[in-house]
Every structure is written in C-alpha cells, then in structure tokens.
Amino acid sequence: MSEVSPPPGLVGDVARFIYDAAPRPVPEIALVAAIGFIAGIAGRSYNISGTGLNQYALLLANTGTGKEAMNRGISRIVAALANPSGNPHYVEQARTFVGPADMASGQGLLRSLSHRKPPCFVSLIGEFGLRFKQIADEKSSHDTSLLRAMLDLYNKSGHGDFIGETVRSDKDSNTPIIYAPAVTFIGESTPETFFGNLTVQMITNGLLPRFTIVEYTGPRPARNKNAESVEPNPDMLARIAGLMRRSISANSLNQVQHVGMAADAEAFLDDLDTRADDEINGAKDGVTKELWNRAHMKAMKLAALIAVGCDYDNPVITLEMAIWATAQIERDIFRLIVRFDSGDVGEVAGNEAKQEQAVLRCINEYVFGKYERFASYGVTKKMHDYGAFTQTYVSQRVRNLPAFDDRQGRTKAIERTLQNLSLGAVIQQLPTEQTVQLFETRARTYMVADVKLFQTMAGPP
C-alpha cells in the first residue's frame, strides 16, 4: 500500500495525470515527478522566508516498477503546452522549464544556467544512486565541482541571491554572475543501488540532507492498458499555462511573489523547527544532526509549492498543506536514520565499528526488552531473567546485516566483535560449567559486565 497521498492543487492534479498515464502506475513515482515539474516552473518566481521553491527529490523504486513514467508524464504535459497549432494553452517557452538530464561537472552546469533566461528548470536524472557516489568522490575534480555547485544552488534561489562569476584559464569556461538560479533536481534509483553506495560522507557533506527521498516498496504494478489513451485535462493545462506565463513575466521583470502563511500553519511549522532543534541538540552522531538540520526549511518550501499550485495569484500555506509537507519530510528523515542505525547501508560492509554498534543494539534490546519477543531465539526465561544471552542469539539477529559482509566471514566477524567487547569489559563470557549449572546449556553464553558502561555505549533502550 502506498504511503503517500496527492496534495491539493496543481501538484496533486499533475501527480494524478502522471499516475493515470503511466504504463505501471505508482503513486510515489507520480508524486515526485509532479513536485519536480511544478518546482521547475515556480521555483524562482515565488519565495518563502527568503528562498526560492526549488526542490531536490529522489525517487527509490525497484527495477520494473515504472520509474520512466516521471519523464514520460512531464514530457507529455510539456508537449501539449508547446504545441502552437490552435492551442488555447500554448506557451512558447514551455520547454525551457525542463533542463538537462545530466551534467559532467559543476562548471558545465553553471555554464548551462548562465545561458538560460530565466535560470529556472527541473532536471530529471536517471540512475542517481550511482551519480551520488561519483559526486561524493573527492578524487574526481569534475564530480567535486558538481557537488559544490549543487550545494550552492540549493541555497541561492531566493530573490537577490546570486552565484558569483567564475574565471578559468580556458575563457570559454567562464561564467558570469547568475542571479537567483532555481534548479530543481529529480533523481531516480533502485533502493539496492542507492543504499548500497550510500556513505556517511554523503550525509555530512550536506548534499543528501537537501534531498527529499520518496521510496516505493510495493510490488510491480499491473500494466495499465489505457495509458496511451489518457490525455492531460484541459483545465489542468490551462492552470499550468497560467502559472508558466506568470513565472515568465515575473522573471523577465526581476520580480518575485512571497508565499503567505496562515497563523495555524505557521505555528505548526514552528513546532517542527523546535522539534528539529531538540533532535539536533540530543543527537549522538553527525548523520542525525545533518538530516534534521534542514527539516523546517524543506517542509516550508514544499508546503509553499503546494500553495502556489492551489492559487498562484495569491498563494497562502494552510494548515493542511503544512501537515502534508511535514509528513513527507519526517518520513524521509526517520527512514534514513533507521537505515544508518541498523547498519543497512553499503559503506558499513566490513566496518568493525558498525559491527560493534549492531551487536550492542541487539544486546540492548534483549536485556531491556520483554522475554516473549526473544523466546524464538532459543534463550530460556531464566537466561533472560539473568540477562544472559548466547552467541547464537546474537548471530541470528545480526548476521544478515551488511556490516557483517566481512572478508573473514560473517561468523568470524560476530565472534571477533563479541571477543572485543569482552576484552573491553563491556560484556563477559560465562564459564561453561556455570552455564550448564544455571541454564543447562553448553552454548557460548555472555552477560553484560558493566551496566553503566554498556548503557553509555549502546544508548538508551
């Protein structure tokens, strides 16, 4: 079952069209495309809290689920608007709101932006999971320059902001000052590719926290036999054309419209900002801090985009819009934190620190949890009452995590981790004679040696 529902206004209407016209309809795929498309139009001509409405979004879905529907749906809408033949919704510049599908370097991206009037569009990038890895690679100067450009562009879409001119030895590579560039990036990847290449560096360098990640985890949808016959709704096209014309006019006059906010919506988003402060101040790692750092701004920009889609003449964020946008942002943050906490990302393979964290976590859950949850792991009630656990229990809990994809083998990695924790006096191995006498087992058995030290290392239960 889908976790997302379309928002009100143009974003929701575009999402519904892309869904209905998709060969394999998936709500998440349609929603990401709709957000990107409307942001590509309105990102520069509307501001909220001093920033434009450009979006960075990433769609994760398995192979064969129809990710190509994003490009296909947007292309059909643009084609309908760009056709001059007897078309009441004709917009001559409609195609300018869709940018390049890839860029070789940051300099190339900025050069492309400098030639666009206005510098506002959406770029749909395929296989972005692999691109993320390349961008984060410090050994590649081209990819590093692209990272810098993407980090900079996210924050420079507000009225009065600008990207400074660049000067190179090759004069053809120089770029002038670019005022208020509003670039929206929409990427797609499979979960395996993305999470398999995900690193802590991708979080701490600030790029991934700028993205809103939407993941579809359901099965391959049945083929939509009516996909080709679905046409864009004339009323939807009229409103998109109206938004395009308004944005084109505002951009040509160097004007911007500020999105308003209802009092209850502002209070709701202020509460999110306060919760983000609390999460950052209480975080034990950089990943959590970075992910929460932009939560308020991302929710506000997304809610403002929905407001523009509802009324581009007088956009105002309502409580409904604020709640909808916040739910998308929080779902993304919680999902990524769980992935990192569980060690379910590619970077941790063979990483002993992550192996130790995984073992500490599973012991923590066992010692402070209810016995019924662990009865199936071969431990007795008496063992649980004593806080004793077997190596077999630990192995069953952690051996399939990526962290234990170790060159010495998963079993050896688990044994090594338990031994290291024993040497550090965090846990202690019980003598076989004692386990036989107390628990009637000769299985390798451990107990927490120092509860305070253990709780410091493992965190709260």
Mean of all residue pLDDT scores within the chain: 89
Q: Which residues pair with 175 in a beta bridge?
A: 166
Report yes or no on 247 lying in a domain: yes
The domain in which residue 363 lies consists of 349-458
What backbone phi and psi angles, to 5 degrees, belong to 407? -65, -20
Distance CA 148, CA 136 (A): 10
Res 70: pLDDT: 96
CATH number of the domain at 438, please: 1.10.10
Tell me, yes or no, whether 381 and 298 share the same domain: no
Tell me, yes or no, whether 265 and 393 share the same domain: no
Report yes or no on 418 lying in a domain: yes
Tell me, yes or no, whether 222 and 359 share the same domain: no
Which of 30-34, 98-102, 439-443 has the lowest average pLDDT?
98-102
Tell me, yes or no, whether 149 and 196 share the same domain: yes
Res 279: pLDDT: 93
Tell me, yes or no, whether 199 and 259 share the same domain: yes
Tell me, yes or no, whether 317 and 357 share the same domain: no
Distance CA 458, CA 425 (A): 14
Report yes or no on 16 lying in a domain: yes
Res 1: pLDDT: 44
pTM of the entire structure? Answer: 0.77
Report yes or no on 332 lying in a domain: no
Tell me, yes or no, whether 88 and 147 share the same domain: yes
For residue 372, is pLDDT > 70? yes
Report yes or no on 344 lying in a domain: no
Q: Among 291, 324, 357, where does a domain finish?
A: 324
Q: Among 324, 339, 371, where does a domain finish?
A: 324
pLDDT, one tens digit per residue, over 309-363 is 999 999 999 999 999 999 999 999 998 888 777 666 665 545 777 788 888 888 9
For residue 69, is pLDDT > 50? yes
CATH number of the domain at 34, please: 3.40.50
Res 169: pLDDT: 56
Res 425: pLDDT: 79
Tell me, yes or no, whether 255 and 294 share the same domain: yes
Tell me, yes or no, whether 27 and 153 share the same domain: yes
Calculate the CA 134 to chain-centre distance. Answer: 17
pLDDT, one tens digit per residue, over 81-98 is 999 998 999 999 999 999
Report yes or no on 302 lying in a domain: yes
Instruction: Select the more confidently predicted residue: 402 or 161.
Output: 161
Q: How confident is the model at residue 458 (pLDDT cuts 50, 70, 90)?
A: low
pLDDT, one tens digit per residue, over 253-274 is 999 999 999 999 999 999 999 9
Which of 118-122, 146-150, 206-210, 350-354 has the lowest average pLDDT?
350-354
Tell me, yes or no, whether 304 and 360 share the same domain: no
Tell me, yes or no, whether 170 and 215 share the same domain: yes
Report yes or no on 336 lying in a domain: no
Total number of domains in the chain: 2
Q: Among 308, 324, 340, where does a domain finish?
A: 324
Tell me, yes or no, whether 176 and 320 share the same domain: yes
Instruction: Select the more confidently predicted residue: 206 or 450.
Output: 206
